[in-house]
């Protein structure tokens, strides 16, 4: 059995957290490949090392007058690592590493290089502490000349390299372009590295250790003490993350999904908790009819009405072109017989609204155009909905009882999700009503 384990920033923020991570790794000898993030926040209000590095690099490339501030920032970063080294009782000295980093900063090696040092140095410490081999991600995670991740080349290199390496630490978040320049993924990208490594070694499971016990059915900022999700499919997860639920980087599912490798989200601070298992498919009955609820606020909608629009070839295309020309991305698009409604992000739309209205008039000569703002979209997601009658009925009666006016309903043909549009100010009540009817009453 082979497991790849990724530890997030808060799981490695201090020597204490390092010890917890090492205990987890040492408890199961199949945890052979470790992907660390940079040290994160030790307590609320603390700063992640990645943010310190970005700041430090900005100071490094500014005028001499910022030199003192730069020195201060650099020492603060060094202190974060030294604190871990001392706390773990390691004898390693990072002086040479810091000399190189200073030199590269003065040569303007780039923001990516700067940020990547957080994971790089943490990887060195982790490897030393565990007695695992350290593999610099710049040698095995490849980006092309344009800076796009090169999955094929990476998989070739990495699987070859790890075939001869029984236990290794590979820092997350970065790789290198063909010219050797370091390149990072977007923020939170160590999750992606973990997934890439899991694919390369054909792991049985990719464990993603973080500071929460998995995905929750709803946002705890909206619903009080929501229950955790035991098992979720990749498709359900996509739907929920698209609607704003975050725990895992969105792109982290692609490498493992193709290989059928499950991801297990677990809590470093509470390793006995079950966590959430993310799988391609499962026969296991979900605990509740719905798997999760997520939503986003601040949308505007544009409804275009024209009699017989369905028989006009290219009608939708012409409307959508207006949005494309104005560089407005479309979030959602329910339609009726003679109407189509386009949901867009309000902030993106507001400044261009008159151009869009004029464009639609010119293109399709609608009978009527209606704009609405301050709308929220809520996705109710669950593989269990397909096999259960009356799900939407229950949702809408719950919303009616909560006095929430439903502005829009859209059920995907997969029957995996129902999207509901409500007013921004009904957002919280709507989510609570849905949670209540499916989870608290548990019928
Ligand atoms: N350290 C990086 C960040 O803060 C990457 C990661 O933690 O996944 O975004």
Closest CA to 429 of 293, 302, 300, 299: 293
Distances 261 to 190, 198, 301 between C-alpha atoms, Å: 17, 8, 39
- pLDDT for the residue numbered 223: 94
Q: Which of 126, 189, 195 to mutate to test the pocket of ligand 1 (most atoms within 8 A of CB)?
A: 189
- pLDDT for the residue numbered 442: 62
Predicted confidence (pLDDT) per residue in 75-85, tens digit: 999 999 999 99
Average pLDDT, integer, range 102-107: 95
Task: Please list every protein residue whose CB sits less than 6 Å from any atom of ligand 1.
Answer: 9, 37-38, 48, 50, 118, 172-173, 187-191
What atom in ligand 1 is closest to the CA of residue 187?
9
- Tokens 């639920």, residue located: 245
- pLDDT for the residue numbered 293: 95
Q: Whose CA is nearest to atom 2 of ligand 1?
A: 188
- pLDDT for the residue numbered 384: 83
Average pLDDT, integer, range 260-274: 96
Predicted confidence (pLDDT) per residue in 341-396, tens digit: 999 999 999 999 999 999 999 999 999 999 999 999 999 999 888 778 888 889 99
Produce one character per residue of 377-400: b if its CB has 16 or more CB atoms within 10 Å, e if not: bbbbbbbbbeeeeebeebbbebbe
Average pLDDT, integer, range 300-308: 93
Query: Ligand 1 centroid vs 363 CA: distance in angstroms?
Result: 45
Residue 176 belongs to what H/E stretch? strand 174-176
Query: Ligand 1 centroid vs 17 CA: distance in angstroms?
Result: 16
- pLDDT for the residue numbered 258: 86
Closest CA to 264 of 229, 294, 290, 235: 229
Average pLDDT, integer, range 65-79: 94
- Stated pTM of the model: 0.86
- pLDDT for the residue numbered 409: 86
- pLDDT for the residue numbered 401: 94
- pLDDT for the residue numbered 140: 98
Predicted confidence (pLDDT) per residue in 139-197, tens digit: 999 999 999 999 999 999 999 999 989 999 999 999 999 999 999 999 999 999 999 99
Distances 73 to 26, 48, 67, 115 between C-alpha atoms, Å: 34, 12, 10, 14
Q: Which of 111, 141, 183, 187 to mutate to test the pocket of ligand 1 (most atoms within 8 A of CB)?
A: 187
Ramachandran region of residue 434, left (φ > 0), alpha (ψ -120 to 50) or beta?
alpha
Predicted confidence (pLDDT) per residue in 31-58, tens digit: 999 999 999 999 999 999 999 999 999 9
- pLDDT for the residue numbered 335: 83
Mean of per-residue pLDDT scores for the chain = 94
Query: Ligand 1 centroid vs 200 CA: distance in angstroms?
Result: 21
- pLDDT for the residue numbered 151: 97
Q: Name the band, by pLDDT with cuts 50, 70 and 90, for residue 310.
A: confident
Has residue 244 got a pLDDT over 80?
no
What atom in ligand 1 is closest to the CA of residue 191?
8
Has residue 441 got a pLDDT over 90?
no
- pLDDT for the residue numbered 47: 97
């Amino acid at each position: 059995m082979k497991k790849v384990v990724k530890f997030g920033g808060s799981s490695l923020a201090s020597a204490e957290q390092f010890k917890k991570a090492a205990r987890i790794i040492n408890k199961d000898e199949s945890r052979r490949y470790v992907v660390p993030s940079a040290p994160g926040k030790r307590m609320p209000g603390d700063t992640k090392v990645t943010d310190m590095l970005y700041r430090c690099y900005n100071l490094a490339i500014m005028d001499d007058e910022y030199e003192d501030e730069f020195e201060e920032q650099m020492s603060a970063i060094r202190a974060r690592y030294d604190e871990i080294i001392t706390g773990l009782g390691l004898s390693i000295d990072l002086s040479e590493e810091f000399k190189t980093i200073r030199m590269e900063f003065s040569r303007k090696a780039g923001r990516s290089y700067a940020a990547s040092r957080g994971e790089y140095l943490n990887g060195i410490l982790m490897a030393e502490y565990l007695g695992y081999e350290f593999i610099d991600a710049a040698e095995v995670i490849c980006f092309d000349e344009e800076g796009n991740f090169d999955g094929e080349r990476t998989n070739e290199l990495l699987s070859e390299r790890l075939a001869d390496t029984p236990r290794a630490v590979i820092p997350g978040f970065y790789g290198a372009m063909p010219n050797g320049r370091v390149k990072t993924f977007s923020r939170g990208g160590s999750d992606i590295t973990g997934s890439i490594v899991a694919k390369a070694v054909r792991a049985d499971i990719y464990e993603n250790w973080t500071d929460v016990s998995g995905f929750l059915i709803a946002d705890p900022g909206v619903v009080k003490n929501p229950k955790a999700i035991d098992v979720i499919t990749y498709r359900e997860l996509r739907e929920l993350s698209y609607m704003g639920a975050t725990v895992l980087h969105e792109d982290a599912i692609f490498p493992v999904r193709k290989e059928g490798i499950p991801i297990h989200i677990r809590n470093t601070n509470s390793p006995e908790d079950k966590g959430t298992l993310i799988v391609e498919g499962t026969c296991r009955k979900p605990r509740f009819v719905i798997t999760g609820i997520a939503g986003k606020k601040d949308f505007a909608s544009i409804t275009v009405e024209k009699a017989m629009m369905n028989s006009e070839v290219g009608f939708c295309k012409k409307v959508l072109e207006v949005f494309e020309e104005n560089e407005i991305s479309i979030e959602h698009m329910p339609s009726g017989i003679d109407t189509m409604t386009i949901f867009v992000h309000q902030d993106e739309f507001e400044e261009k609204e008159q151009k869009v209205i004029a464009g639609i008039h010119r293109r399709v000569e609608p009978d009527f155009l209606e704009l609405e703002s301050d709308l929220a979209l809520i996705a109710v997601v669950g593989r269990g909905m397909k096999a259960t009658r009356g799900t939407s009925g229950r949702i809408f009666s719950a919303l009616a009882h909560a006095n929430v006016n439903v502005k829009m309903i859209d059920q995907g043909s997969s029957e995996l999700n129902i999207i509901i549009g409500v007013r921004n100010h009904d957002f919280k009540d709507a989510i609570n009503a849905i949670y209540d009817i499916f989870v608290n009453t548990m019928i």
